[in-house]
Amino acid sequence: MSLWDLREKAAICGVGHSPYGRRLNRSAIDLAGEAIRQAAADAGLRRDDLDGLIVSFGTPIGADADTLAYVLGLKLRCYLQTWAHGRFTASCIQWAAMAVNAGLARYVACMAAVSFSGLRKPMMGGAGDTEGAREGGGGHGEDPVFGMTSPGAGAALVARKYFARYGATSRQLAAVAVAFRKHAALNPAAIMREPISVEDHQNSRFVCEPLHLLDYCLINDGAACVIVTTAERARDLRKPPVYISGMQGLPAGREEFIWTYPGFGISQQAEYDYEPGLQPVYQMAGVTPAEIDALFTYDAFSILVWTALERFGFCRPGEAAAFTQEGRIELGGALPMNTNGGLLSEAHIMGWNHQVEIVRQLRGECGARQIANAQIIQWANAYGDSLIYRRG
């Protein structure tokens, strides 16, 4: 079976999450257990129905997948674990879609659980960074020789070059944080719900110039889970299925830098005029960017929203600054984005909270922040990975 044959052959049948908070004083295993229970109940499944598990978390902020399976009493036929990072979210769901269609499992819980408050040493950047030590230069382009000691440094480098190349400004970038905070204000689960203005953004302190504090995501505790099964099984469960229409894997190589698209000229990238073309995810789903009702992306830093929009052809390189103004990415705008509030305002759950929100939007369960008549919603990252979901 080719990847193309998997169009709408898998579906999300259940979603759930724990509470989100700054310091919940709960272990990652405890939070993970609650998210899995909520997702199983949402689908009308029992614990023993879950025979697959894919997690994108691990030490120091989570637990290994085998430990989680043991402690929670799961009986798994297959499981997989990635590093704790938002660039693996789509990949986990893609692998689950393949697993259920290959007969390796019937119901696969895909998730992350994070407990940042329990850290005794930094997760990313600086001395003792166990996550960043897995590869030369760190997981986010960190290079301490040049002062690149945190993920924010790499994102700031992209923002600085973007401003210089296209004449964009930090004030324009504020529209992203302001929009997502408006969405969070309508979301009871969001940690940061107090509205902010462009002036609030501009007056917040610099963390790594030109990025302000309000350009940075939250650091918090919480867990989120989605359950993947075949489209056929999903149609017999408690909630309407949300089909996985298109998938696009995570690219890597010299031309890839985690916070931007090829051709930008950062790290080892060559510098050239990037032309996205029609990405494979659209070809698989049989749609174009113009048919997408809402877009979700990994917003660890606000600049990633601009680079994701340009990477996937919603606008040309250099046009995202103007594209995101005047409420265009807000509820009621032409392309609503991250209606849960995103990592910037709802919670940092590696982008898994975004998957939960996408499913609820397509089911029509989001109340005051519901997108009218949402049919097709995309997850698309600056990294190059993507999923397209369709309402069942």
Each residue's pLDDT tens digit, 245-279: 999 999 999 899 889 999 999 888 999 999 988 99
Q: Can you tell me the distance from the alpha carbon of 337 to that of 285, in angstroms, rounded to the nearest whole number?
A: 20
Nearest to 337 by CA among 317, 252, 312: 312
Domain coordinates of the chain in residue numbers? 3-391
pTM above 0.85, yes or no: yes
* Residue 101 predicted with pLDDT over 60: yes
Q: Is the pLDDT of residue 135 over 70?
A: no
How far is C-alpha 160 from the chain's CA centre? Answer: 23
Q: Read out DSSP for 352-366?
A: HHHHHHHHHHHHT--
Asked if residues 175 and 182 have their Cβ atoms less than 8 Å apart, the reply is no
pLDDT range class, residue 137, cuts 50, 70, 90: very low
Q: How far apart are alpha carbons 156 and 82 in whole angstroms?
A: 26
Q: What is the mean pLDDT of the chain?
A: 91
Q: What are the C-alpha distances in Å from 285 to residues 122, 230, 240, 278, 281? A: 40, 17, 19, 11, 6
Domain range 3-391, CATH class: alpha beta
Structure confidence at residue 130 as a pLDDT band (50, 70, 90): low
DSSP 264: B
Count the residues in the chain: 392
Peptide bond before residue 60 is cis, with ω within 30 degrees of 0:
yes
pLDDT at 195 over 90: yes
pLDDT of residue 86: 83
